[in-house]
Amino acid sequence: MLRDGDDGPADAPPVAVVAQTSPVISQASPGATIAEDPETQSPKRAEDPTVLSLVRKGDRFLELGDLASARLLYRAASERGSAAAAARIGKTFDPIYFQRSGVRGARAALAEAVEWYRKAIEMGDETDSRQRLERLLSHLRTAADAGDAEARDVLEAVAE
């Protein structure tokens, strides 16, 4: 987790680490069964070690504050059926997550967060993603009421 003025650990994995994982990504087993992820209580392909590995690696990058790398890994896992990974992508765009975890040097993307939480819900992550989405929408309503044009625009787009 990055703090104000912190560029991250000096020994943070380079972006090349992500590229080194790509051969593993192509070996996902499409027939894996669905099970509960104990951390998020959301369905995911728990028996697919590639998906689990992608999510874990994404989590490590997220802990380092490398949102871009975390998103790449989560996206690969969500494309293989992981609702938890889709929820985590939403989190990487969510201003509430940014505030609570101390993310600095990145800008939240409200519409992206809403979109990914909705995808996660559609994929089966009912509880966690629905709660995050409701918190985010409440945050957006408050910001829109205070005159935030971006929040108002996102709320209008969500209503369509």
The Cα 156–Cα 71 span in angstroms is 26
User: If you average pLDDT over residues 19-41, what whole number do you get?
Assistant: 35
Q: Is the pLDDT reported for residue 92 higher than 50?
A: yes
* CATH of segment(s) 41-159: 1.25.40.10
- Identify the band that residue 16 occupies on the pLDDT scale cut at 50, 70 and 90: very low
The 3 state secondary structure assigned to 44-102 is ECCCCHHHHHHHHHHHHHHHHCCHHHHHHHHHHHHHCCCHHHHHHHHHCCCHHHHHHHC
Quote the pTM value: 0.69
Compare 35 and 26 and report the one with higher pLDDT. 35
Using the predicted structure, report yes or no on whether residue 116 has a pLDDT greater than 60.
Answer: yes
Place of tokens 């504050």: 65
- pLDDT higher than threshold 90 for residue 130: yes
* pLDDT for 109: 93
Element at 134 (helix H, strand E): helix 126-145
Enumerate the domain spans of the chain: 41-159
| Ranges 17-31, 70-84, 104-118, 138-152: which has the least confidence | 17-31
Min mean pLDDT across 23-27, 33-37, 72-76, 142-146 is at 23-27
pLDDT for res 5: 41
pLDDT value of residue 47:
60
pLDDT value for 34 = 33
With 50 as the cut, is the pLDDT of residue 57 above it? yes
pLDDT of 153 > 50? The answer is yes
